[in-house]
Amino acid sequence: MSSETAVGQPGQDQVAAALPESASLAPKPAVPLFGKARVLVRWESALVVALALTILLGALTSRQFLTSENIFSNVCLLYGELAIMTLPMTLIVVSGEIDLSIASVLALSSSLVGYLWDQHWPMPAAIGAALAAGLACGAFNGVLVTRFGLPSLAVTIGTKTLYAGIAEIVLGPSIITNFPTSYTTIGVNPVPGTHQLLSYSALVFIVLAVAFAMLLHATPFGRSVTAVGWNKEAAQFAGIRVKRLKTLLFMVSGLVGAMAGVLYTFRLSTSEPDNGIDLVLPVVAIVLLGGVSIFGGKGTMLGVILAVLVYCGLQSALLLTNFNANALEIVTGGLLLLSVLIPNGGELAARARRFMNRYRVSGTQ
């Protein structure tokens, strides 16, 4: 069979065979001077411009936008868990799948922490049980998708409702708030030595973002993820264990979603069944805004990190202008549409031209 560099992972030559020519692992020739101009139109470059405009807009609309208090309270605290969940979602979408249940895993994890603490479990044991439950939820998603051949969109829509229902059963009408101060301060206090800029959830995001970036872009596993998303059949012929790889990705998504649920619980000092249940669409919007193709096989972690900053900056700027909180979903919906339409604009325009050409031909007959 294949010479594998890790469990379930093929060698570099075999992964390269499954990747598109543009993603080849072979050394690339030097780019001519004028060819370097192509870098300027990369999606990540556009996101840098968007981030600069967002900062400028925020600074013009409110003097508080660039203050450490706003960065900590309206960016790091409010969106730390959301940012964390974009990381495993990126890998899953690059592989050609999607996980719409991740926010429900967060809610289930939050419910479990509250319930087990209320049953006098030690907090470390309650946290461990919540993380194990998230891992099991991800494994269940992965088995349904890979072993039964079901589409991940349909599966995770179903498990999204299933896990949210289990969260309701676990906690019932109860709301648990009597968590120990030593844990709730983690959710609301800044990290020492960061000049009151970073929350603990933001620090976790930064650490995980570096780890996920290295995993996606600097390991055979990451190259296998891209190869599977680009062409699953070619990846299988190259020796990549597609089912195992996708199952692992869903398990990582469940684990990270549960971790976000624990942090979410400590930030609010509250455990209730609907904690974070509405975060799934913002997670998907950010990932697609980061340039990850909804069809798989394309995407960078840098793009997603920049998209996180753009999204959080826009939301923070709107909050400071007393924008209707109920209408903030406009930002999510608009970014979601733009992130799908703009990368596929060329193909849509080509289809429109072909349609018009056929219309003219049929009109002249």
Q: 117-126: per-residue pLDDT in tens?
A: 999 999 999 9
Per the CB < 8 A criterion, the answer to whether 163 and 274 are in contact is no
Q: 72-81: per-residue pLDDT in tens?
A: 988 999 999 9
Residue 29 forms part of a structural domain: no
Token couple for 160:
């999204």
Residue 93 forms part of a structural domain: yes
Residue 219 forms part of a structural domain: yes
Token couple for 143:
């088995």
Residue 122: Cβ-neighbour burial (10 angstroms; 0-12, 13-18, 19+): exposed
Token couple for 249:
């990705």
Residue 340 forms part of a structural domain: no
Containing structural domain, residue 122: 69-280+287-302
Q: What is this structure's pTM?
A: 0.85
Q: How many CB atoms lie within 10 A of CB 45?
A: 14
Per the CB < 8 A criterion, the answer to whether 225 and 94 are in contact is yes
Per the CB < 8 A criterion, the answer to whether 179 and 121 are in contact is no
Per the CB < 8 A criterion, the answer to whether 110 and 210 are in contact is no
What is the spatial distance between Cα 208 and Cα 196, in angstroms, rounded to a whole number? 20
pLDDT exceeds 50 at position 252: yes
- Packing angle of the helix pair 78-94, 102-118 (nearest 10 deg): 130
* Minimum mean pLDDT range among 33-37, 157-161, 250-254, 270-274: 33-37
Residue 130 forms part of a structural domain: yes
Residue 132 forms part of a structural domain: yes
Q: Which residue has the higher pLDDT, 44 or 23?
A: 44
Helix (H) / strand (E) element for 9: namely: strand 9-10
The domain total for the chain is 1
Residue 360 forms part of a structural domain: no
Q: What is the mean pLDDT of the chain?
A: 87
Q: 211-230: per-residue pLDDT in tens?
A: 999 999 999 999 999 999 99
Residue 330: pLDDT band with limits 50, 70, 90 = confident
